[in-house]
């Protein structure tokens, strides 16, 4: 086997430089030539994969390839790793980032009687912004977590952890994503700028919190639901009595579904020293999530009351359906089954979109003068 135990990363790097034109195979030197960077990437990959059996690693690779989907898999091979950095093959995160922004936009549009064109334009801008900024957040996460990702089977095949994208190239890619994100922010009304920029420190530091606290989900939730605040000034209104409960309720929603998400990896997280609310709450997760869900629905009702929108048929019906699906998810999910946790996690897309559709229904009723 082509591997030296006990050298460490620095030793491997030194060895790769001195022996870049040779390789050691079964006690004999042989060619072909292996460049230093390729050798270091190979050796680092071997270090990161020692915790798993060859069967597990093969299964992880096949899962990644099968998970690319019909669109990302057809991209040029050189681009696919960067699409994976943005998690384009897993749009669930983009949807969950985008959905609270749609609520805020639609509620703000009803408050100011915005035109259909203006509302649809802002929904589109937020959709593109969610795609870009979620991708940037994932790139930051993979840069900071590359050593931790190599110790968790579900993440061992991520582009940086697996060596398919170097940290330097990832940083350049991140700079490009951030530039596009700032450009999108510049397309919003000026009163959105300071609110949008205020979220960037949370986006850039979230991955660090899982090393020091069992509540990294709190930081993720704080930045992931920023659209619930930003959507109102995007429509030309600052309504803090509505914005604060809508944002706080969305924060609790993210705490619920991201804790369920974290239960997928708890076995590996313990070994890797990664902290999460899944480990902190353990078998108390469901009771805690139920309390959070009750608080969340109450806060959404407060947002509806303060905005004067709660009596719309869409708001009442949409919130009722939201509550039913949320409580059902918490009750039925098997927290010891990773597949069940993933299924419950992605079900939140439909849960959130149903509320978006309901608010849009109320908005249309207002446009035509029925509500």
The ranges of the chain with pLDDT < 50 are: 1-49
Domain 54-368 maps to which CATH number in 1.10.357.140, 1.10.357.10, 3.40.50.1820, 3.40.50.300? Answer: 1.10.357.140
Residues 264-318: tens digit of each pLDDT:
988 877 877 788 999 999 999 999 999 999 999 999 999 999 999 999 999 999 9
333: which DSSP letter?
-
Boundaries of every domain in the chain: 54-368
Question: Residue 206: its pLDDT value, please?
Answer: 73
CA 352 to chain centre: 16
Q: Which of 358, 359, 100, 74 is nearest to 227 (CA)?
A: 100
Question: Residue 50: its pLDDT value, please?
Answer: 59
Q: Which of 306, 269, 53 is nearest to 149 (CA)?
A: 269
DSSP states along 285-322: HHHHHHHHHHHHHHHHHHHHHHHT-TTSHHHHHHHHHH
pTM listed for this prediction: 0.82
User: For the packed helices 227-234 and 116-144, what is the interaxial angle rounded to 10 degrees?
Assistant: 150
Decide if 232 contacts 238 (C-beta within 8 A).
yes
């Amino acid at each position: 086997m082509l591997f030296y135990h006990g050298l460490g990363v620095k030793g491997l790097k030194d060895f790769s430089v001195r022996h870049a034109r040779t390789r050691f195979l079964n006690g004999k030197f042989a060619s072909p030539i292996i460049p230093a960077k390729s050798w270091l990437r190979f050796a680092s990959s071997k270090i990161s994969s020692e915790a798993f059996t060859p069967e597990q690693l093969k299964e992880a690779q096949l899962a990644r390839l099968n998970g690319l989907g019909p669109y990302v898999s057809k991209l040029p091979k050189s681009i696919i790793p960067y699409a994976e950095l943005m998690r384009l093959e897993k749009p669930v995160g983009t949807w969950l980032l985008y959905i609270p922004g749609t609520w805020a936009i639609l509620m703000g549009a009803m408050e100011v009687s915005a035109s259909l064109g203006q509302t649809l334009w802002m929904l589109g801008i937020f959709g593109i912004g969610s795609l870009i900024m979620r991708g940037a957040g994932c790139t930051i996460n993979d840069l900071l977590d590359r050593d931790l990702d190599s110790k968790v089977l579900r993440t061992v095949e991520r582009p940086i952890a697996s060596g398919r994208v170097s940290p330097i190239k990832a940083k350049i890619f991140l700079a490009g994503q951030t530039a596009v994100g700032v450009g999108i922010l510049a397309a919003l009304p000026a009163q959105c700028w300071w609110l949008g920029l205020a979220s960037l420190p949370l986006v850039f530091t979230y991955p660090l919190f899982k090393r020091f606290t069992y509540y990294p989900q709190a930081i993720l939730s704080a930045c992931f639901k920023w659209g619930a605040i930003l959507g109102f000034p995007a429509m030309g209104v600052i309504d803090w009595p509505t914005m604060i409960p809508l944002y706080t309720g969305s924060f609790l929603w993210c705490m619920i579904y991201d804790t369920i998400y974290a239960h997928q990896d708890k076995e590996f997280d313990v070994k890797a020293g990664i902290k999460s609310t899944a480990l902190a709450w353990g078998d108390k997760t469901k009771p805690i999530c139920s309390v959070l869900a009750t608080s969340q629905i109450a806060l959404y009702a407060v947002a509806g009351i303060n905005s004067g929108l709660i009596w719309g048929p869409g708001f009442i019906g949409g919130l009722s359906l939201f509550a039913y699906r949320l409580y059902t998810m918490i009750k039925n999910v098997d927290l010891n089954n990773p597949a069940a946790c993933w299924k419950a996690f992605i079900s939140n897309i439909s849960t959130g979109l149903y509320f978006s559709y309901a608010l849009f229904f109320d908005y249309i009723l207002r446009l035509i003068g029925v509500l």
